[in-house]
Amino acid sequence: MPQQSALTTEPIPQLVRRIAVPASIGYFFNTMYNVVDTYFAGLISTQALASLSLSLPVFFIIIATGTGVSTGATALIANALGAGKRQDAKLYAVQGISFGILTALALTALGLLLSPFLFGSWAPKGSTSPWCWIT
């Protein structure tokens, strides 16, 4: 007899809570990371705080890319497991991890190459841009 999924038998509000609570906790810690980052940058100087706000769009591009790769890999793995293709799911997992590592390396290289140009063009000369990259 095939095993039934909880998604088809349990009440919807219970399933939504089971998914929403861990996601909410994750978003809470992401927000707290940014609050703590802002607090300590503010202790350094206003230039450091301004540099932090300049680098925020780059940070979100990195987060969005990682989220996109992991969501896509998760969907492929879930479809393969749902179809009973465990070997395909393992292959998708390995490919997802490999693609994630390659994407991280590419974003790192692009960031190191483009950060002087990006932060130099976003900030007034000599004001906050030295705080945006490691010299």
pLDDT in tens, 35-62: 898 899 889 888 778 777 777 788 888 8
Q: Give the residue among 84, 107, 80, 83 at the shortest CA–CA distance from 95.
A: 80
Name residue, tokens 């998914």. 19
What is the C-alpha to C-alpha distance for residues 59 and 109, in angstroms, rounded to an integer? Answer: 14
pLDDT of residue 63: 86
- pLDDT mean over 14-38: 87
Give the span between the Cα atoms of 58 and 106, in whole angstroms. Answer: 14
Total-model pTM: 0.65
d(CA 39, CA 27): 18
Q: Which of 63, 75, 54, 72 is nearest to 31 (CA)?
A: 63
Range in 5-14, 98-107, 123-132 the model is least confident about: 123-132
Give the contacts of 116 (CB within 8 A, at least 6 positions apart). Answer: 133
**Burial class of residue 3, CB neighbours in 10 A (0-12, 13-18, 19+):** exposed
Q: Where are the alpha helices (DSSP H) in the chain?
A: 6-9, 12-44, 46-82, 86-122
